[in-house]
Chain A
Amino acid sequence: MSGFVVNAVLIFFLVLIAFLALRLHRLFAMVMLSGAFSLVAAALFVVLDAVDVAFTEAAVGAGISTVLALATLSLVPVEEKPHKVAIIPAFIALTTGVLLALAVTDLPKFGAADAPIHNYVAPDFISGSENDIGVPNVVTSVLASYRGYDTLGETVVIFTAAIAVLLIIGGWTRDRRRVSKQAEDDHAG
C-alpha cells in the first residue's frame, strides 16, 4: 500500500514537470525541467527495484543529456518559435500511448514468479552458463556471449551517435564563436 502511494506521488511529479515544461517557451527552463524529470524517473525506477536502469537514467538522462542540450542551446535562439498544434503527430502520439496503456493490462503482475521471463530462457542460461561459456558470472556470460552480437551492435550504435554529436556540437560552436568574435572585433575597430 505504501509502495502504491509512493509510486503514485512520483508519477504525479512526472506529469506535473512534463506539463510545466510544455507550458514554457524558454528553452533553458525546458532543459532544466527535463533534468528534473529524469531525476524523478530515476527515483521511480529505484522504488520499482530496477536499480541498474535507475543509474543509467540518472547518469545519461539527468547528466549527459542535460549538458548536450545546453551545448545545443548555444547554437539556437533562447526562445521557442510560436507554432500551431500539430494535429497528425498529436494523434499518432495519443494513439500509441493508448495502445501501450492497453498492452500494460496484458503484462504479468509486478514481481510475479510465474511470469514467462522467469520460466522460459532464464533457467537455461543460469544452469548452462558454467558449461557453455565457462564464466562464473551469469550477467557477464549473457551480455558478452549469449547476446554478444546484440551488445556489439549496441556499442556500434552508441559510438556512432557519440561521433555524430561531437562533430555537430563540438565543431560548430567553436567556429561560430570565432566568427562572432571576429565580427565584434571588426565592429570595435
Chain B
Amino acid sequence: MIDTILSLTLAAIGLSVIIAVTRASRGPTPFDRVLAVNTIGTLIVLAICVYGFFDGRPEFLDIAVLYALINFIGTIAILKFFRHGTLGDHTIDDHTIGNHAETEEEK
C-alpha cells in the first residue's frame, strides 16, 4: 500500500519536473527561467526524500535538507547577480543593473 503511494508520488514529481523543464526552456522572461530552475531543485529535493522512504533508507532526508539549502543559496546568488551585475562589488550605479533582463524582455 505505502509502496504504491510512494511510487505514485515519484511519478507525479517526475511529471512536474517535465513541466518545469518546459518552462525553463520556453522562457519568456529570465525570471520565469530562474523560478523554473528553482522549482526543479525543490522537486529533486522532494524526489530524494520520497525515494529514501521508498528504498527503506530514510537517512536520505539529511541529504535532501542540504540540497534545499544549496538550492536556496544558488537562487539567491543568481538573483543577486541580476540585481547588482556582479557578485560582491556593489560600487556600480543602479542604471547599469539588469542589462540582460531588459534585453531579453524586449524581444
Q: Which residues of A contact B (CB under 8 A)?
A: 2-3, 6, 9, 13, 16-17, 20-21, 23-24, 26, 28-29, 32-33, 35-36, 39-40, 42-43, 46-47, 51, 54-55, 58-59, 62-63, 66-67, 70-71, 73-74, 78, 170, 173-174, 177, 180-181, 184
Contact = CB atoms under 8 A, between A and B. Distances in A.
Interface in B10-54: 10, 14, 17-18, 20-21, 24-25, 27, 30, 33-34, 36-37, 40-41, 44, 47-48, 51, 54
Contacts, number: 119
Contacts of B8: none
A51 B70 CA distance: 14
A3 B10 CA distance: 12
Interface in B49-107: 51, 54-55, 60, 63, 66-67, 70-71, 73-74, 77-78, 81, 85-87, 89, 92-93, 95-96, 99-100, 103-104
Q: B-side binding surface: helix, strand, loop or mixed?
A: helix
A24 B25 contact: yes
Given A35-B74, A36-B41, A174-B86, 5 more contacts: A6-B10, A55-B63, A66-B77, A70-B81, A177-B85
B77 to A, nearest CB: 5
Contacts of A177: 85, 92, 96
B7 A2 contact: yes
A173 B20 CA distance: 32
A119 B18 CA distance: 42
Contacts of A16: 18, 21
Contacts of A3: 55
A43 B87 contact: no
Nearest to B10: A6
Given A3-B55, A20-B25, A174 B99 contact: no
B81 A42 contact: no
Given A26-B104, A62-B41, A67-B87, A43 B77 contact: no
